[in-house]
Amino acid sequence: MTDEKKKEAGYEHKILSFCCNWCSYAGADLAGVSRLQMPANFRTIRVMCSSRVNPVYVFTALERGADGVIVTGCHPGDCHYARGNYFTRRRQALLEKVLDEIGFDRERVMLRWISASEGPEFADTMEEFDSTIRSKGKNPLSEEVFL
Amino acid sequence: MTATITIDKPLDEGVRTLLRTMLEKGTVRAVLTLRRLEDGGGVAHCLVTDPAALAEAVPLIPVMPAQGGQVLSHLTQEEPFKEPVAAVVRPCEVRGFVELIKRNQAFGDNLVLISPECPGVFPVQRASGDPMDDDIDAYWRSTSEGKGADGLRPVCTGCELFEPVGVDMTLRLVGRSDLDKALTVRLDTQRAEDMVKDLGLGKAKEDGKDPKGLEALRSARAKGRADLRAELDFTGEDMAEFSRTFGKCISCHACSKVCPICYCQMCYFEARAAAAGPAWWRNDLKRKGATRAPPGTVFFHVGRLLHMSISCVACGMCEDVCPVDIPIARIFKKVGEAAQEVFEYVPGRDPDEDIPIRTFVEDELHEVER
């Protein structure tokens, strides 16, 4: 894909965020009720635990037109289910390695820990990831016919 | 120090002698081995209890009509063997079997594993109808010299794990000049030593020095592996090259049917293809203006990489059965090894080692917490 096409005028990128019910979703909620400014380009799916997110789901989103996917969960040690997020971290490492090997830009996926009290951190994270994805432009897979 | 016995018959005949003696003396109740079909047609795994039925056994024939790990899983899925059973399987088949045990798809109890130092196998198509005698002669000549034979499965040429791990007996083949006269069997476990004592196949001796050819094959394989890795590099390509390579896939899913690790009765990706309804098409067409039907061709392979590459034993079954010649085993071997290196995991190395995505260490992988 040419660079001009990537940065097509008026293209609004889409980000999918998976938030764990106990920490990050509450953090997102706090950011909202605190009226913190956040980009409007992300859609959230709430999951009971970040380890519920099979790496295949992340790739599904990328294949179906998302330009970036972020998975958020409780800080290590703080998981509501005691150990779920440690598994998430292993899955993320696996996912990023596989994406690397097949030639997909791993920076379009991200893992971050955000607790229920970290409203500002949630807003900052979304701002940061949004600007990364904005600068990368359209996901090359979103127009690939033969997937 | 490990002990070996020498059987004064070569190759297949030697292994047949070992198996037959074990059956006759009651050391094992049955053996699993490759066997020619009566009409000389093909080769298949057979579970044998009658020593006379071993006449057609070809334990070392260089083809893999099914992954032995998968075969053993079918046999032991519901319950372990109640009496000792010997199985002649290749090192990658043993590794596949161990991965299946970890996934609760098989039991290793009472199984006596006999495995060769594996010079590789020919593509599975050679197993049916084709006598391949000349090629087999050349194959054993190369093996005794410690060279890789011609015409092997491509993925075999880059296999550095050709020496069996976690087995009871190792058939020492590579680099041995007496290959056409005698069979050397190394006894890797106490159980194997005890069994062999009663067989009357000669006294166990201490294992000699490794032949030069073994070292030669090790380095040839290391080079082969490097060549395979250089040949298939998709990094930094916006996935375009990967999509092109797998774009010609016809979605027969044979690669997953023969894969020892893909044990799921109902594959997630097959369910998903069926689930693609009208909303799916509309979304795709809005973005792309054209869409492949049914969808999910390349996705299937990425998904399989995400699901099973961590345990890929690089046996090469998938590539053999691909009707459109995608170099799938070579790609899965490369991506799988990259994923396995992240967790310093070697599939099938140790039955007590958990699958990396089912365990964790508290302080690790901070590079992915961005």
| Residue-level pLDDT at B164 | 96
Rounded to whole angstroms, how far apart are CA atoms B253 and A96?
25
| Residue-level pLDDT at B205 | 87
Quick check: B370 and A86 CB within 8 A? no
Dump pLDDT digits (tens) for A7-52. Answer: 566 789 999 999 999 999 999 999 999 999 999 999 999 999 999 9
Q: Domain spans of chain B? A: 3-229, 236-368
Scored b (16 or more CB within 10 A) or e, B55-65 reads: ebbbbbbbbbb
Dump pLDDT digits (tens) for B36-93. Answer: 886 666 889 999 999 999 999 999 999 999 999 999 999 999 999 999 999 999 999 9
The structural domains of chain A, ordered by start, are 12-137 (3.40.50)
Flag whether pLDDT at A4 surpasses 80: no
| Residue-level pLDDT at B142 | 93
- CB distance B160 to B90 below 8 Å: no
Residue A1: band (very low, low, confident or very high) from pLDDT cuts 50, 70, 90: very low
Structure token digits, residue B49: 């209890």
Flag whether pLDDT at B241 surpasses 50: yes
Half-sphere exposure of B188 (CA within 13 A, CB side): 15
Dump pLDDT digits (tens) for A104-113. Answer: 999 999 999 9
Flag whether pLDDT at B1 surpasses 80: no
Ramachandran class of B200: left when φ > 0, alpha when ψ lies in -120 to 50, beta otherwise: left
Quick check: A93 and B360 CB within 8 A? no
* Bond before B294 cis per omega within 30 degrees: yes
Flag whether pLDDT at B277 surpasses 50: yes
| Residue-level pLDDT at B273 | 66
Quick check: A147 and B235 CB within 8 A? no
What is the chain B residue with the closest CA to A96? B368
Rounded to whole angstroms, how far apart are CA atoms B47 and A88?
42
Stronger pLDDT, B125 or A32, i.e. the higher one? A32
Picking from B144, B104, B159, B146, the residue whose alpha carbon sits closest to that of residue B316 is B159
Rounded to whole angstroms, how far apart are CA atoms A22 and B162?
48
| Residue-level pLDDT at A143 | 82
Which residues, in sequence order, are bridge partners of residue A70?
Answer: A17, A110
Scored b (16 or more CB within 10 A) or e, B78-103 reads: eeebeebbbbbbbbbbbbbbbbbbbe
Ramachandran class of B277: left when φ > 0, alpha when ψ lies in -120 to 50, beta otherwise: beta
Q: Is B81 helix (H, G, I), strand (E, B) or coil?
A: coil
Stronger pLDDT, B288 or B167, i.e. the higher one? B167
Rounded to whole angstroms, how far apart are CA atoms B146 and B216?
6
Quick check: B238 and A64 CB within 8 A? no
Measure in Å the smallest separation between the Cα of A30 and chain B Cα atoms: 21
Rounded to whole angstroms, how far apart are CA atoms A57 and B306?
10
What is the chain A residue with the closest CA to B242? A102
Quick check: B303 and A90 CB within 8 A? no
User: What's the average model confidence in pLDDT over B185-205?
Assistant: 90
Q: Which of B242, B268, B357 sits opposite A91 (nearest CB)?
A: B357
| Residue-level pLDDT at A2 | 47
- The answer to which of B127-131, B141-145, B160-164, B312-316 has the lowest mean pLDDT is B127-131
* Predicted TM-score of the model (pTM): 0.92
Quick check: A113 and B292 CB within 8 A? no
Helix count and strand count (H, E) for chain A: 5, 4
Q: Is B60 helix (H, G, I), strand (E, B) or coil?
A: coil
Q: What are phi and psi of B359, to 5 degrees?
A: -145, 175
| Residue-level pLDDT at B204 | 84
Q: Are strands B43-48 and B111-116 parallel, antiparallel or unpaired?
A: unpaired
Half-sphere exposure of A102 (CA within 13 A, CB side): 28
Angle at B8 between CA B7 and CA B13, to 5 degrees: 80
Contacts of A65 in chain B (CB under 8 A): 283, 287
Angle at B110 between CA B106 and CA B112, to 5 degrees: 95
Residue B129: band (very low, low, confident or very high) from pLDDT cuts 50, 70, 90: low
**Strand order across the beta sheet in which A42-47 lies:** A42-47, A15-20, A68-73, A109-113
Residue with tokens 């109890």: B109
Q: Which of A102, A111, A141 sits opposite B368 (nearest CB)?
A: A111
Q: Furthest-apart CA pair in chain B: how many Å? A: 76
Which residues, in sequence order, are bridge partners of residue B35?
Answer: B44, B57
**Strand order across the beta sheet in which B183-187 lies:** B43-48, B30-36, B85-88, B111-116, B169-172, B183-187, B3-7, B205-206
Angle at B345 between CA B335 and CA B312, to 5 degrees: 45
